[in-house]
């Protein structure tokens, strides 16, 4: 079996993109070809080098088969580009085209392709994860959007999930987490997908045992739905209980977003309690995780967060909102403490108890053991077997 992996990510490079590279590095040699638009490939290589990803992963991007530049700004162009990708895959002798990142407007008419498509679902709803589960269908979708600060018009436009599923009816699907089909079904969209087990993995942390310099850390893309503003609000609450609380914020950020986040911390009076280390390398991120007593992660949008696994592997327990992605994937360990979504006070109280009682040390050791069950070898094996199963279906 030969698989053409179409690399067209919405973000360069986040957890989902790094996950794809880790899996590809473990697929059977000569079994796949990575297809990437030339302009996307160039940006991805630059991002991978800047983040300090290991050379094997960078080389996977460097050696990708170059497609012509992708500059589509409308649906017709996107459909035309997808058809071009299909012709390239067919010419390379591919049995499947595997799309870890497929935009909705790419899908219309996919079933006319000469090569069978398989998609990977690895994202939550476009308005964020289910921070409430009161209701169902479009009503629930709109309620989640409102709670996550997304306006009605934007939310209605993002309900393109309906178009997505109509366009993708019958497309073979894999999912990195059971939370994905669960959330889709709750908002009225039925998806038949093979849920991968395990759906995500982590490398062993090389910095276990470092001195705990920080009380709390935040690590994710620096954007509102990932929880950075909720984290800063939680630091303000912690500072009332522990005046000398030390925090660090890590993650990729534009200059504008970095300025906005630091201004928010200053407005709340906790700028002196927080160090900001934007756009740190992967190695530096692991050092910081291992140097922190707790990872406070009030994310409002996730499917199977790699950052949580990374934190656990470094011996740092996690306090997070109890969204489906956290509940479905981390229910098996006490090292991930779950708090009712959007409950900043609960976030503060649970974190303070963890710091005050010293439970972070014991839970940190438990987190390391839990993370050992999520190896990239197991993830790649599960994913390849699922692709073989689909390829062998009539």
Strands (E), the chain: 3-6, 32-37, 65-67, 96-99, 116-121, 172-175, 194-195, 214-219, 247-251, 274-278, 292-297, 318-321, 336-339
Q: Evaluate whether 3-201+375-391 and 214-371 have a shared fold.
A: yes
pLDDT for res 107: 81
Q: State the pLDDT confidence band at 159, using cuts at 50, 70 and 90.
A: confident
| Residue 27 structure tokens | 């697929």
Query: Could you give the 3-state DSSP secondary structure of residue 199?
Result: coil
pLDDT for res 73: 83
Strands (E), 125-199: 172-175, 194-195
| Residue 380 structure tokens | 């790649």
Q: How many whole angstroms separate alpha carbon 310 and alpha carbon 235? A: 22
Name 95's Cβ contacts closer than 8 Å, sequence gap at least 6. Answer: 1, 2, 3, 115, 116, 391
Residue 389 backbone zone (phi > 0: left; psi -120 to 50: alpha; other: beta): alpha
| Residue 344 structure tokens | 């900043």
Mean pLDDT of 355-366: 95
255-271: pLDDT as tens digits: 999 999 999 999 999 99
Query: What residue ranges do the domains of the chain occupy?
Result: 3-201+375-391, 214-371
* Other beta carbons within 10 Å of 298: 26
Q: How many whole angstroms separate alpha carbon 286 and alpha carbon 390? A: 36
CATH number of the 214-371 domain: 3.40.50.2000
| Cα separation values, 368 from 205, 315, 331, Å | 9, 5, 15
Query: Could you give the 3-state DSSP secondary structure of residue 2?
Result: coil
Residue 95 confidence (pLDDT) above 90: yes
* Sheet hosting strand 32-37, strand order edge to edge: 65-67, 32-37, 3-6, 96-99, 116-121, 172-175, 194-195
pLDDT for res 121: 93
CB 358 within 8 A of CB 244: no
Given the structure tokens 């080389």, which residue do they identify?
59
Higher-confidence residue of 148 and 156: namely: 148
Residue 163 confidence (pLDDT) above 70: no
pLDDT for res 170: 79
pLDDT for res 11: 76
Q: State the pLDDT confidence band at 165, using cuts at 50, 70 and 90.
A: low
- How many alpha carbons lie under 13 Å from residue 10 in its C-beta half-sphere? 11
| Cα separation values, 141 from 61, 69, 160, 302, 388, Å | 36, 35, 12, 15, 35
Q: What is the DSSP string of 2-46?
A: -EEEE---SSSS-HHHHHHHHHHTTSPTTSEEEEEEHHHHHHHHH
Residue 255 exposed, middle or buried by CB count within 10 Å (0-12, 13-18, 19+): exposed
Q: How many whole angstroms separate alpha carbon 123 and alpha carbon 126? A: 8
pLDDT for res 162: 64
Highest CATH level, class, for 3-201+375-391:
alpha beta
Q: CA Rg, the chain, in Å?
A: 21
Continuous segment of H or E residues that includes residue 211: none
pLDDT for res 192: 84
| Residue 144 structure tokens | 């989640």
Q: State the pLDDT confidence band at 152, using cuts at 50, 70 and 90.
A: very high
Kindly state the DSSP code that residue 301 receives in the 8-state scheme: S
| Residue 341 structure tokens | 């979504």
- How many alpha carbons lie under 13 Å from residue 191 in its C-beta half-sphere? 29
pLDDT for res 46: 95
Residue 168 confidence (pLDDT) above 90: no
Q: What are phi and psi of 226, to 5 degrees?
A: -80, -10
What letters, b where the CB count within 10 A reaches 16 and e where it falls short, cover 169-199?
A: eebbbbbbbbbbbbbbebbbbebebbbbebb
| Cα separation values, 190 from 27, 143, 387, Å | 30, 19, 21
Residue 394 confidence (pLDDT) above 70: no
Mean pLDDT of 295-301: 98
């Amino acid at each position: 079996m030969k698989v053409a992996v179409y690399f067209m990510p919405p973000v360069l490079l986040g957890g989902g993109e790094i996950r794809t590279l880790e899996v590809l590095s473990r697929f059977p040699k000569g079994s796949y070809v990575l297809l990437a638009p030339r302009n996307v490939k160039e940006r991805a290589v630059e991002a991978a080098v800047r983040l300090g990803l290991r050379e094997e992963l960078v080389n996977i991007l460097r050696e990708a088969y170059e497609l012509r530049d992708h500059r589509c700004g409308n649906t017709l162009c996107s459909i035309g580009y997808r058809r071009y990708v299909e012709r390239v895959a067919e010419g390379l002798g591919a049995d499947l085209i595997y799309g870890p990142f497929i935009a909705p407007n790419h899908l219309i008419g996919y079933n006319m392709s000469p090569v069978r498509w398989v998609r990977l679902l690895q994202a939550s709803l476009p308005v964020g994860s289910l921070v409430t589960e009161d209701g169902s269908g479009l009503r629930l979708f709109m309620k989640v959007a409102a709670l996550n600060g997304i306006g009605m018009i934007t939310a209605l436009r993002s309900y393109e999930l309906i178009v997505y599923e109509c366009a993708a009816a019958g497309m073979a699907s894999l999912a990195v987490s059971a939370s994905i089909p669960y959330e889709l079904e709750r908002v009225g969209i039925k998806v038949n997908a093979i849920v991968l087990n395990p759906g995500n993995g982590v490398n062993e942390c090389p910095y276990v045992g470092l001195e705990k310099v920080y009380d709390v850390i935040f690590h994710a893309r620096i954007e509102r739905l990932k929880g950075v503003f909720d984290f800063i609000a939680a630091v303000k609450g912690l500072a009332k209980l522990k005046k000398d609380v030390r925090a660090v914020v890590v993650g990729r950020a534009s200059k504008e977003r970095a300025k906005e986040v630091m201004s928010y911390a200053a407005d709340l009076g906790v700028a002196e309690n927080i160090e900001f280390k934007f756009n740190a390398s992967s190695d530096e991120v692991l050092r910081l995780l291992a140097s922190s007593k707790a990872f406070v992660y009030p994310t409002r949008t996730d499917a199977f967060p790699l950052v949580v696994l990374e934190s656990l592997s470094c011996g740092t327990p996690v306090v997070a909102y109890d969204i489906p992605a956290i509940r479905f994937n981390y229910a098996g360990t006490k090292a991930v403490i779950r708090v009712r979504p959007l409950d900043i006070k609960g976030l503060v109280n649970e974190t303070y108890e963890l710091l005050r009682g010293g439970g972070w040390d014991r839970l940190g050791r438990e987190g390391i053991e839990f993370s050992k069950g999520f190896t990239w070898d197991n993830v790649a094996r599960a994913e390849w077997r699922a692709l073989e199963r689909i390829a062998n279906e009539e």
